[in-house]
Amino acid sequence: MTGGPVKRDCGRCGRHGYPATRFPDGYVCGTCLRAALEIRGACPGCGTTRALPGRRPADSVPICRDCAHITRHFTCLRCDYEGNLADGRLCYPCARTQAITEVFGPTTQLTPALRSAAEALAAAPNAAATVRWLATPYIRDLIGDLITGRLPLTHQALATRPGRSATYLHDLLLSCGALPPTDRQLAGYEGWLHRRLADLAGHPHQRLLRQFSLWHQLPRMRARAPPR
């Protein structure tokens, strides 16, 4: 078969693999492309302060896209930032804004608690990580359940949803005041307990374990949680 991707030697680091792009000085792998777009400063060729992904042929000094005769554009379609871009040719802050709107909808229609969560995500220091996190189907469904009310916005309800992404959402809601303060160890145990009891459906000892854990053990742990 022909026409598919072909592995090449990267012109920057020499590693053999599938290139992310091709510059006048050769093929460039994804790692080297991201690193090149992080270089910013005054271009030695034209003096413009911008991203310097190219290389001057004589001494490999970083130069801008125009001076390097690179035809590919790396400019955000919304804010004109030049550098590493997310899907849709948006910079990561703009992509984050778009993702928050897609997941949460208009903030005017959100409850104050969920509005504070959306605002906290918009102010998160790592825009790229937020974009990747919001792209997770599980998180989109989880936030959608909170917005529609299918999942109550409580520690107990969120504890029933497993996974590190759900834990991050729980911590986010806690940190921005959308949830009242709680004992983290107790919240983690409640989540594990509900999932464990669900896994024991049909087990001959499930009823006894449910009675002991929910009516005896859990109330005692809750009573001891405030004074630690």
Mean pLDDT score, 52-80? 96
| Residue recorded with tokens 């959308």 | 178
The residue among 176 and 70 whose pLDDT is bigger is: 70
pLDDT at 30: 95
Residue 192: DSSP 8-state: H
CA atoms within 13 A on the CB side of 88: 12
227: confidence class by pLDDT, cuts 50, 70, 90: low
Are 68 and 53 a contacting pair, CB within 8 Å?
yes
pLDDT tens for each residue of 113-134 = 999 999 999 999 999 999 999 9
Which residues partner with 90 through β-bridges? 86
Residue 1 has pLDDT above 70, yes or no: no
The pair of three-digit structure tokens given for residue 83, joined into one six-digit string: 């550098």
Residue 218 has pLDDT above 80, yes or no: no
Are 102 and 87 a contacting pair, CB within 8 Å?
no
Mean pLDDT score, 19-46? 96
Q: What is the DSSP string of 10-35?
A: -TTT--EE--SEEETTEEE-HHHHHH
| Residue recorded with tokens 């990747």 | 132
* Residue 9: Cβ within 10 Å count: 14
The pair of three-digit structure tokens given for residue 92, joined into one six-digit string: 């990561």
145: confidence class by pLDDT, cuts 50, 70, 90: very high
Rounded to two decimals, what is the model's pTM?
0.75
Closest CA to 214 of 228, 195, 194: 194
The pair of three-digit structure tokens given for residue 3, joined into one six-digit string: 């026409």
